[in-house]
């Protein structure tokens, strides 16, 4: 009996300790692996766009998606995609005429909203435009490190990098530019935000139109990187598109 009480106290201690430190004890991992199977299926289906459109992460997947985001696999997946991009970019014959272009999305591509979505139960709570705007106004989104390295490499290789974001230009333009600069995104060719005239258009329509203008200006879009399918769908999408992982929200 005493031994059992000791075991329970030890488990409580480990639970509190791991919660405080963000570590996950091995015994939780083993349990989580089995119980997360349906959520791993959901995540894969969401990433390959088989469950569109979805408004929230299934409530029962809160802990599994949280573990994915904070436990290292999300960062691993991001880095893996970036390695594929770098491998492709390395083989592109850069003409040197200033028209070899790449397009990068901003939110959860260049800079991360994970700290915000943590409060929103990793997407189990529905999109809250006012709360997200408040978060974005803080200008405190950290860089996604692997993409920051990609960004620097692309520019160093002679590509013109365009950042295209659905963020509202009027209200979030300045703070977004400052946030990006503070996080090391310096030297891009242009950042394109959603102007007042573009409000109300879907992400696919807006981004297609912005890419069309670049192509008409003579740019060759070699690659297009985003965490949402709506970054990569439509027209003038570029020679190759790269979907970054994001199981927390879906932008139609
Ligand atoms: Mg995004």
| Residues with a beta carbon under 5 angstroms from ion ligand 1 | 105, 107-108, 227
Q: How far is the CA of 26 from the centre of ligand 1 (A)?
A: 33
Q: How far is the CA of 180 from the centre of ligand 1 (A)?
A: 14
- In this prediction, residue 166 carries a pLDDT of 97
Q: Which of 25-34, 60-69, 233-242 has the lowest mean pLDDT?
A: 25-34
Sheet with 190-194, strands from edge to edge, namely 190-194, 160-168, 100-104, 220-226, 240-243
- What integer is the mean pLDDT of 189-216? 97
Q: How far is the CA of 73 from the centre of ligand 1 (A)?
A: 19
- What integer is the mean pLDDT of 193-222? 98
- Round the average pLDDT of the chain to a whole number and report it: 91
- What integer is the mean pLDDT of 67-80? 98
Token pair 């915000």 is at which residue?
116
- In this prediction, residue 236 carries a pLDDT of 98
Write out pLDDT tens, residues 114-147. Answer: 999 999 999 999 999 999 999 999 999 999 999 9
- In this prediction, residue 30 carries a pLDDT of 46
- What integer is the mean pLDDT of 153-172? 98
Q: How far is the CA of 14 from the centre of ligand 1 (A)?
A: 36
Instruction: At 51, list the tokens.
Output: 């469950």
pTM of the model: 0.86
- In this prediction, residue 102 carries a pLDDT of 98
Q: Cβ contacts of residue 251 below 8 Å, gap of 6+?
A: 166, 203, 228, 230
- In this prediction, residue 52 carries a pLDDT of 82
Write out pLDDT tens, residues 5-37. Answer: 455 454 444 444 444 444 443 334 444 456 999
- In this prediction, residue 24 carries a pLDDT of 46
In the predicted model, is pLDDT for residue 220 greater than 50? Answer: yes
Q: Angle, nearest 10°, between helix axes 73-90 and 62-70?
A: 50
């Amino acid at each position: 009996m005493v031994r059992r009480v000791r075991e329970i106290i030890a488990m409580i201690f480990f639970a509190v300790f791991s919660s405080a430190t963000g570590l996950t004890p091995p015994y939780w991992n083993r349990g989580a692996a089995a119980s997360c199977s349906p959520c791993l299926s959901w995540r894969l289906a969401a990433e390959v766009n088989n469950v569109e459109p979805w408004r929230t992460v299934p409530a029962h997947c809160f802990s599994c998606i949280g573990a994915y985001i904070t436990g290292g696999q999300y960062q691993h997946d991001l880095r893996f995609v970036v390695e594929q991009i770098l491998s492709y970019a390395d083989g592109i014959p850069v003409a040197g005429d200033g028209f070899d272009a790449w397009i990068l999305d901003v939110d959860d591509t260049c800079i991360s909203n994970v700290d915000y979505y943590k409060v929103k139960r990793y997407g189990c709570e529905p999109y809250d435009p006012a709360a997200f705007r408040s978060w974005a106004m803080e200008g405190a989104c950290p860089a996604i490190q692997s993409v920051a390295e990609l960004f620097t490499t692309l520019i160093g290789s002679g590509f013109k990098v365009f950042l295209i974001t659905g963020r509202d230009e009027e209200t979030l333009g300045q703070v977004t530019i400052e946030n990006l600069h503070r996080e090391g995104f310096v030297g891009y060719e242009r950042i394109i935000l959603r102007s007042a005239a573009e409000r109300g258009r879907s992400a696919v329509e807006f981004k297609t139109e912005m890419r069309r203008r670049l192509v008409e200006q003579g740019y060759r879009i070699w690659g297009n990187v985003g965490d949402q399918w709506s970054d990569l769908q439509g027209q003038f999408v570029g020679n190759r598109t790269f979907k970054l992982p994001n199981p927390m929200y879906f932008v139609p």
